[in-house]
Amino acid sequence: MFNKKLKRVAALLSGTLLLGTLLAGCGGEEAKSDEIRIGANFEMTGNVANYGNASLEGLKLALKEANEAGGVNGKTLKLIQVDNKSEASESVNAATKLISEDMVKAIIGPAVTANVIAESQVATDNKVPVLAPDATSPAVTVGEDGKVKDFIFRSCFIDPQQGDVMAKFAADNLKAKTAVVYVDNSSDYSKSLGQVFKEKFTAAGGQVVMEEAFLQKDQDFKATLTKIKTANADVIFVPAYYEEVGKIVKQARELGVTSPILGTDGWDDVKVADIAGAEALNNTFFSTHYSDKDESVKGFIDAYQKEYGHAPNVFAALGYDAGRLIVDALKRAGTDDPEKIRDALATTKDLQVGTGTITMDKNHNPIKQAVILENKGGDRVMVAKIMPEAE
């Protein structure tokens, strides 16, 4: 879960920054009457810039399509972009600027959990809806008090679903009886997934025989991987982001670790293969939001390739989904009033997006399919497809 101290700092910083900005006056360009301003708060630089930039590309495509089709409610959608530099404090700064200077009606992003949570208080205080394309922690939309955050939504599934899916896959498909859980101790995303996997795998009759941790930006994992190798577990679960995942898989195979290595959507980036190598990635599996082999998402993939000249990754697809969601909400609201947009997002039902269909549940989380992909011979093969039940 999100660190309480960091939340207090983020809340204090957001209040101070917002007050300072309001006192200084609105320095942004005045909004035109024939446009609807949408904010993009993304990691354009920094440690997870691949996620932020890919999500932004997908979002831009969705808004471009809407504008080319005549706009929304007789108005053109204008995207205002701000770089949060992959940092929680900068995410607060970005949200503050977008709301108080640029006067946006909704914010899409950031990509990762901690950065979304950091901006949440600013958005909520100003009653501006946030739609997070990629942030999977339950804490994004539901507070520690168990109450749903009124103005915060997401377009991706949540960590418990991924942890549950991968635990069941390990037990049922791979027939694993023992597992090692290896998490990024500096990431709420990673720790949350590790905990859910442990609970679900144990409930399925398995045993977690070892739990280890690393930190973001670590380079050498061999000492811990040597220890993990001695556990001789049936599977190793590594819910983390692409930079560290690629190095962990590469170094594990160099040490002779042959067990299946399992992961989650943080693996879904071409950089993993660049870092680990295709051969090392054999016998690894991860949960994600869609497969490019799925015919139902072919229309999005073709449009994206035509626009950018390269294939989309999952974060681009989720950014596109977020764009489709906000366009749909604006149309059904019939206005760009932020509270009406919030109400429309909450009642989204059976909306066709890039990765399939979305219905928003009572906790502002989408009911949508998850898939499990296997890395095999330099390709990704879809081995399972799951649609969760509504809560």
Mean residue pLDDT of the chain comes to: 90
Count how many residues are written for the chain.
Answer: 391
Any idea which residue has 């190793």 for tokens?
236
Question: Phi and psi for 366 in degrees, rounded to 5?
Answer: -80, 140
Q: 14-47 burial, b if ≥16 CB within 10 A, otherwise e?
A: beebbeebeeeeeeeeebeeeebbbbbbbbbeeb
Q: Which domains does the chain have, with CATH numbers?
A: 4-157+296-360 (3.40.50.2300), 159-288+370-386 (3.40.50.2300)
Confidence label for 19 from pLDDT (cuts 50, 70 and 90) = very low
Angle formed by the axes of helices 159-168 and 188-203, nearest 10°? 40
Any idea which residue has 């694993």 for tokens?
176
Q: Which residues contact 194 (CB under 8 A, 6 or more apart)?
A: 163, 181, 182, 183, 211, 237, 239
28-60: per-residue pLDDT in tens?
566 678 999 999 999 999 999 999 999 999 999
* DSSP 8-class letter at 74: T
At residue 22, the 3 state secondary structure works out as helix
* pTM metric for this prediction: 0.75
103, 33 contact by CB (below 8 A): no
Cα–Cα distances (Å) from 223 to 5, 22, 43, 135, 212, in that order, read 31, 51, 31, 31, 11
- Which tokens is 52 given? 């932020």
Mean pLDDT, residues 112-125: 96
